[in-house]
A and B are shown apart, each in its own frame.
Chain A
Amino acid sequence: YLFFSLSTPQENTDPQRTAFLLRKQWALYSVTPLYKFCDAHLKDYARLLSAFIAAEKQKGLAVEIGVELDIKVAVSSVPDLKGSDRDQAAILVQLSLRSPASLKNSEEKLVWSGCFCCVFGDHLSENVPEDFTCLPLFLVNGAESYTSLVGSWFQKTFDCCFRRLAISPLNLSWMATMWTGCKVDKSTSAVELIFSVPCQPYPLDISYAIHPEDAKALWDTVQKTPGEITQEEVDVFMDCLYSHFHRHFKIHLSATKLVKVSTAVASAHCDGMIKFLQSKYLTGVLMLLTELAISQIQ
């Protein structure tokens, strides 16, 4: 199959307004279409969600009275975060903590954020009726306990399902290849691939770091048509890296499992974690992740 590279035009996005996504670890989830979700009710959703969180926090935990903390919920739309006009604007959910101590100076501490988005997910949204809103990719930064509360509320309210979005080694090698080929202004960080060998009692991890310029040079010899990447090219690129490694260390990396890829563009872990590092390539990475999320829910 064929992917277009990451350098999609994105004049319409203001990098300032999507900067909150950068340089943080985000856990990835796929979400089935939200039923009867309406953009016009975001304020009400925030109110209901905050009531839900307060109720859930008290349920069965009456003994924690006295250490109660005030949680503020904000639900907002991020119109800049989408691929095409047919995509639904992203929805950002933020939980902030107002501890009694800081109540006076109205200081709020952001403790959890979750972002529902859809970047070039037309092929999903085209096929569902109007009652459904397609935001198949859900990014989470914050404690699992809050994820659980927010997720449960969304499940109950919009009849949707959340699933962790793991990234397969095949998709990781795609990411490694695509991101290697991207032009980054201050290209200082190495391309790092981490492989895992399942062995007892602890798995053995192998870290393989390549100078970004070397990797880029290698990729340029592999890629046939600029702007396009094929599965075959990805295989060739990875095989070159593997044989180089084998020449030095006599280890066949192809027999191990690729678990993590870090480049100057982004880093991704097979467990479904991502860190965006370049605002220029944000849309491109999100597009790929949207694609993966859609394939998980269909």
Chain B
Amino acid sequence: MERRRRSETPKQQVHHKNQTDLSAWRKGKKSDPEKSVQSHQSPNDEKNESKQGSLEEALSYFEKVQERVSLKKNNALQKHLTTVESIALEKGLPPEGFDVLLKVALSGKLADTVNTRLLKSLVPASVIPEDSVVSSVSLLCVSKCSASTQLLFLRWLITMFDFIDHKEQLHALYGFFFSFLQDEKMCPYVCHLLYLLTRKESGESVQLYEMEYHFGMQSHLQALLSLYKLFCPELVTITLPGKMKTYFKNSEGPWKAVINAVRRRNQENSAVLKPLVLGTAQPQSRKRKWNTQVLIPASSANRSNLEEDREKQLVNLYSMDESFPVEQLQTFPQLLQNIHRLEFPSQMGSVLTNPLLLHYMNCIKDESIYLRLYYWMGQTLQEECTWCVVDNSQYEEEFKAFLETVYKTECFLQEGFSSCEEFLYKSLPLWDGFCCRSQVLRLVSWIPLSSFSEMKSHLYDPLVQLFFTSSLYFKCSVLESLKELLQNWLNWHMIHLDSESDSQAQSSNTTLSGLVNTVAELIHFVGWISTVALRLENNPTFLLYFILDFYEIVCDMYLRYNLPLLIMPPAGIFYPALLSMDSVSLNQLCYIMYRYRTNLVAAKENELSKKKILQFKFSSQTYQEYNQYIVAMVGCLWTSSAFQKDTHPQGLRMDDELLKKIAVQDFKSSFNIVYHPALMGYALLFLQQAWPDDTTFNFSLIKGKRWNWYLEYLYSQGLKGLKVFIESSINRVSQASHNKTENMQDEKFI
């Protein structure tokens, strides 16, 4: 009875306190910003509001529960229990919720399953008030709840020990906990709890002899005794074994994951600066080797407290030029204010996850920065590579994430790392084309441009083997990444041109001719693999799209990137695109040919005006090739004369004799904007709209004025490439002779 009275007093007090606190929490978020998690989440306010309401209801429900309620039959209990659980899992419970829930869970009013669920959801959003813990310990003493609930509560208490805001009153209950040692099942957990609670003075008040006498030497008792022995060696007489690895059972099982999730989520919401590009939250991976490097180190300043540094600091006090610790760097304004006194972290690898430091790195061109990063990244990539190192395959996800981070950093800095390039050259010959596929291909796109090209043996040869033997999707991915590679090189060239003209310095070790050769080599390589791929895969539109996408950059290099180089696509790409069944490919080809024309015309004009001494001239072969293609195109789209006039050796030209043999009646008109297989569908729709009543589909009606209407119709259907091509590359004769279009109109040569 005595015990019970004792336990009631703090409970009443806490109850009262809880009431006020809860109401404050209900009404607004201003009461205590530190304790209230929701204070920063303005976009989620509405959602939170509704959930707060229901948590409030749930708490008042649990507060009022008087008698034993069955979970199955009671909808209200089910509902409120679910509310508590979901809020706890999502963002943790507010400090004020613990008293009510602990009290109801330990009072024995509800079934054990409910108590277990309640205890498991007692995850704090910030702290746990000590009062609520004290009152629940008093309930534990009166043993109203079942043994399993008692055990779960102790485990909860051990796990949450660090979240309890004060521990003075809890210390006062030391003796109560000690008495629980008698309980065989509770003993291991109570030992752990006592271990956490023990201070130097606690040991003295305890009847240690009794303890030694009563209990055997289980590991949890040994642990507690070793602590007592440390504090009061004179009281513990037994000898303890020298070393034991684990003394206590792991108590945190049911809560650990949730605590981490809640903490992370709350941190994310309160972070002043959201990561700009890179996520700073790296998934924690288990440490397998001490020198494992796939874990990106955290940013921290070099803290070596050396004599010399101390002297420096003294000096610095006068000059007010103390360095700014990187850990404190949180916002962009901070970076700007402290940029003159910022030091890089002790481990350069940590910049990868810190966008602010990447900004800083971009400004400071210091060789040692890049060298530190080079060594770290080179070693990490080689050591952790999942296809080069045996036994690494189980860590593929980690390695993928690492490659992803490296790629994002390269995008951020707009430049490739040489360590990454070397890694690709070393590891691509061993790559299966499957492991970390998209990451590897993305890294390929950042291989730096160098005049001394080793690309063939290092990149193209290993890549081509995989390319020809892999799926259509893989082929498209490779083409995509080579397109990015070309684009990155051209961008680099542009920036380089700018900076060179600024500084007038010849610092570059990359000559223009070297660059032109390297780029040309890449374009020829892509042309070759694309031709083969189209034949292997039987000209799928999907593949053609990626190929033409690549050539959209190639055709514009002279004007857009100021590079004196234009290379026409090989016939193996040009003709499949021209004769494609798909208007998308045809339209794309038209656009590309229009851009080739614009570029070639500009080049010719420059050559003629001789504004500059031209180191590079386009060969007459390029012009010739272009002209051949233009004949074929105009023949296919306009004059229906492709079979007669195409002069390309791999072109469409056929003898009249042969054409007669194939027994197609109107072969003469079978290729123009009306009859081209990619455009015939449009012609059909056009006829339907123009003559809704005519069901004979007489395509020959489209001529003269209607030909122009049809053209307008095609343009209106989004065939912009076709429009610019026809407008630029075809000589239109005057309106009067429209009825003779087929013979009078012609292609424009350069």
Which residues does A use to contact B, with CB under 8 Å?
29, 32-33, 35-36, 41, 44-45, 48, 63-67, 128-129, 131-132, 144, 147-149, 151-152, 155-157, 159-164, 297
Rounded to whole angstroms, the CA-CA distance of A142 and B563 in the bound complex is 60
Rounded to whole angstroms, the CA-CA distance of A246 and B367 in the bound complex is 55
Cβ of B248 under 8 Å from chain A: yes
24 contacts between A and B (CB under 8 A): A35-B372, A41-B306, A41-B307, A44-B305, A63-B195, A63-B244, A63-B246, A63-B247, A64-B243, A66-B230, A67-B243, A129-B367, A129-B371, A131-B368, A132-B371, A156-B346, A157-B302, A159-B348, A159-B372, A159-B376, A161-B380, A163-B379, A297-B375, A297-B378
Rounded to whole angstroms, the CA-CA distance of A162 and B302 in the bound complex is 19
Rounded to whole angstroms, the CA-CA distance of A131 and B348 in the bound complex is 14
Rounded to whole angstroms, the CA-CA distance of A160 and B376 in the bound complex is 7
If A66-B230, A132-B371, A297-B375 touch, does A159 touch B308 (CB 8 Å cutoff)? no
Which of the residues B229, B302, B375 comes within 8 Å of A160, measured between beta carbons?
Answer: B375
Cβ of B283 under 8 Å from chain A: no
* Beta-carbon contact of B226 and A66 below 8 Å: yes
Cβ of B43 under 8 Å from chain A: no
Q: List, in ascending order, chain B residues with CB within 8 A of A67's CB.
A: 226, 242-243
Q: List, in ascending order, chain A residues with CB within 8 A of B691's CB.
A: none
If A63-B223, A131-B368 touch, does A48 touch B290 (CB 8 Å cutoff)? no
* Beta-carbon contact of A163 and B227 below 8 Å: no
* Beta-carbon contact of B291 and A161 below 8 Å: yes
* Beta-carbon contact of B383 and A163 below 8 Å: yes
Rounded to whole angstroms, the CA-CA distance of A152 and B287 in the bound complex is 13
Shortest Cβ gap from A86 to chain B (Å): 19
* Binary CB contact string for chain B from 65 to 87 against chain A (1 if under 8 A, 0 otherwise): 00000000000000000000000
If A41-B306, A64-B243 touch, does A161 touch B226 (CB 8 Å cutoff)? no
Q: List, in ascending order, chain A residues with CB within 8 A of B382's CB.
A: 163
Cβ of B107 under 8 Å from chain A: no
* Beta-carbon contact of A161 and B304 below 8 Å: no
Rounded to whole angstroms, the CA-CA distance of A132 and B376 in the bound complex is 14
If A157-B346, A297-B378 touch, does A132 touch B290 (CB 8 Å cutoff)? no
A40 closest partner in B (C-beta): B308
* Beta-carbon contact of A152 and B290 below 8 Å: yes
Cβ of B477 under 8 Å from chain A: no
* Beta-carbon contact of A63 and B243 below 8 Å: no
Shortest Cβ gap from B268 to chain A (Å): 26
Rounded to whole angstroms, the CA-CA distance of A264 and B272 in the bound complex is 65
Interface centre among B227, B290, B367, B376, by most A CB within 10 Å?
B290
Shortest Cβ gap from B438 to chain A (Å): 27
Interface centre among A64, A144, A159, A160, by most B CB within 10 Å?
A159
* Beta-carbon contact of B375 and A161 below 8 Å: yes
If A63-B223, A131-B368, A132-B368 touch, does A161 touch B247 (CB 8 Å cutoff)? no
B372 closest partner in A (C-beta): A159
Rounded to whole angstroms, the CA-CA distance of A155 and B372 in the bound complex is 11
If A32-B375, A63-B223 touch, does A155 touch B368 (CB 8 Å cutoff)? no
Q: List, in ascending order, chain B residues with CB within 8 A of A159's CB.
A: 346-348, 372, 376
Rounded to whole angstroms, the CA-CA distance of A149 and B293 in the bound complex is 15
Rounded to whole angstroms, the CA-CA distance of A151 and B293 in the bound complex is 12
Besides A45-B304, A129-B367, A297-B378, 4 other A-B contacts (C-beta < 8 A): A66-B226, A66-B230, A67-B242, A147-B290
Q: List, in ascending order, chain B residues with CB within 8 A of A45's CB.
A: 304
* Beta-carbon contact of A33 and B306 below 8 Å: no
By DSSP majority rule, is chain B's interface helix, strand, loop, or mixed? helix
* Beta-carbon contact of A151 and B375 below 8 Å: no
* Beta-carbon contact of A44 and B383 below 8 Å: no
Which of the residues B223, B246, B291, B308 comes within 8 Å of A162, measured between beta carbons?
Answer: B291
Q: List, in ascending order, chain A residues with CB within 8 A of B293's CB.
A: 161
* Binary CB contact string for chain B from 398 to 420 against chain A (1 if under 8 A, 0 otherwise): 00000000000000000000000
Rounded to whole angstroms, the CA-CA distance of A67 and B239 in the bound complex is 12
* Beta-carbon contact of B230 and A65 below 8 Å: yes
* Binary CB contact string for chain B from 228 to 258 against chain A (1 if under 8 A, 0 otherwise): 0110000000001011101110000000000
Which of the residues A48, A156, A163 comes within 8 Å of B347, measured between beta carbons?
Answer: A156
Rounded to whole angstroms, the CA-CA distance of A162 and B305 in the bound complex is 24
Q: List, in ascending order, chain A residues with CB within 8 A of B304's CB.
A: 44-45, 48, 157
Q: List, in ascending order, chain A residues with CB within 8 A of B240's CB.
A: 66
Q: List, in ascending order, chain B residues with CB within 8 A of A33's CB.
A: 371, 375
Q: List, in ascending order, chain A residues with CB within 8 A of B290's CB.
A: 144, 147-149, 151-152
Q: List, in ascending order, chain B residues with CB within 8 A of A144's CB.
A: 290
* Beta-carbon contact of A65 and B306 below 8 Å: no
Rounded to whole angstroms, the CA-CA distance of A67 and B247 in the bound complex is 14
A47 closest partner in B (C-beta): B305
Shortest Cβ gap from B408 to chain A (Å): 21
* Beta-carbon contact of A151 and B291 below 8 Å: yes
Rounded to whole angstroms, the CA-CA distance of A29 and B368 in the bound complex is 23
Interface centre among B223, B227, B347, B380, by most A CB within 10 Å?
B347
Nearest first, the 10 A-B pairs at minimum CB distance are: A148-B290, A32-B375, A161-B379, A162-B291, A66-B226, A63-B247, A66-B230, A44-B306, A131-B368, A159-B372
Rounded to whole angstroms, the CA-CA distance of A138 and B40 in the bound complex is 50
* Beta-carbon contact of B248 and A63 below 8 Å: yes
* Binary CB contact string for chain B from 269 to 300 against chain A (1 if under 8 A, 0 otherwise): 00000000000000000000011010001000
Q: List, in ascending order, chain B residues with CB within 8 A of A65's CB.
A: 226-227, 230
Q: List, in ascending order, chain A residues with CB within 8 A of B248's CB.
A: 63
Shortest Cβ gap from A108 to chain B (Å): 19
Shortest Cβ gap from A162 to chain B (Å): 4
* Beta-carbon contact of B227 and A66 below 8 Å: yes
Rounded to whole angstroms, the CA-CA distance of A96 and B293 in the bound complex is 28
A128 closest partner in B (C-beta): B371
Rounded to whole angstroms, the CA-CA distance of A280 and B421 in the bound complex is 42
Rounded to whole angstroms, the CA-CA distance of A35 and B383 in the bound complex is 21
* Beta-carbon contact of B291 and A155 below 8 Å: yes
Rounded to whole angstroms, the CA-CA distance of A93 and B71 in the bound complex is 65
B308 closest partner in A (C-beta): A41
Rounded to whole angstroms, the CA-CA distance of A66 and B227 in the bound complex is 7
If A44-B307, A48-B304, A156-B346 touch, does A32 touch B247 (CB 8 Å cutoff)? no
Interface centre among A35, A41, A131, by most B CB within 10 Å?
A35
Rounded to whole angstroms, the CA-CA distance of A41 and B308 in the bound complex is 9
Shortest Cβ gap from B373 to chain A (Å): 9
B220 closest partner in A (C-beta): A63
B368 closest partner in A (C-beta): A131
Rounded to whole angstroms, the CA-CA distance of A157 and B346 in the bound complex is 6
Q: List, in ascending order, chain B residues with CB within 8 A of A48's CB.
A: 304-305
Rounded to whole angstroms, the CA-CA distance of A48 and B112 in the bound complex is 53
Q: List, in ascending order, chain A residues with CB within 8 A of B306's CB.
A: 41, 44
Shortest Cβ gap from B284 to chain A (Å): 14
A149 closest partner in B (C-beta): B290
Instruction: Name the interface residues of B607-640: CB closer than 8 Å to any CB of A.
Output: none
Q: List, in ascending order, chain B residues with CB within 8 A of A160's CB.
A: 375
A44 closest partner in B (C-beta): B306
* Beta-carbon contact of A32 and B376 below 8 Å: yes
Shortest Cβ gap from B327 to chain A (Å): 14
Shortest Cβ gap from A75 to chain B (Å): 13
Rounded to whole angstroms, the CA-CA distance of A117 and B297 in the bound complex is 26
Q: List, in ascending order, chain A residues with CB within 8 A of B347's CB.
A: 155-156, 159
Rounded to whole angstroms, the CA-CA distance of A92 and B305 in the bound complex is 21
Interface centre among A131, A151, A155, by most B CB within 10 Å?
A155
Q: List, in ascending order, chain A residues with CB within 8 A of B243's CB.
A: 64, 67
Rounded to whole angstroms, the CA-CA distance of A32 and B244 in the bound complex is 37
Q: List, in ascending order, chain A residues with CB within 8 A of B378's CB.
A: 297
Interface centre among B226, B229, B297, B368, by most A CB within 10 Å?
B368
Q: List, in ascending order, chain B residues with CB within 8 A of A41's CB.
A: 306-308
Rounded to whole angstroms, the CA-CA distance of A196 and B674 in the bound complex is 73
Q: List, in ascending order, chain A residues with CB within 8 A of B229's CB.
A: 66
Shortest Cβ gap from B474 to chain A (Å): 32
Shortest Cβ gap from B370 to chain A (Å): 10
Interface centre among A48, A156, A163, by most B CB within 10 Å?
A156
Rounded to whole angstroms, the CA-CA distance of A169 and B248 in the bound complex is 47
* Beta-carbon contact of A161 and B376 below 8 Å: yes
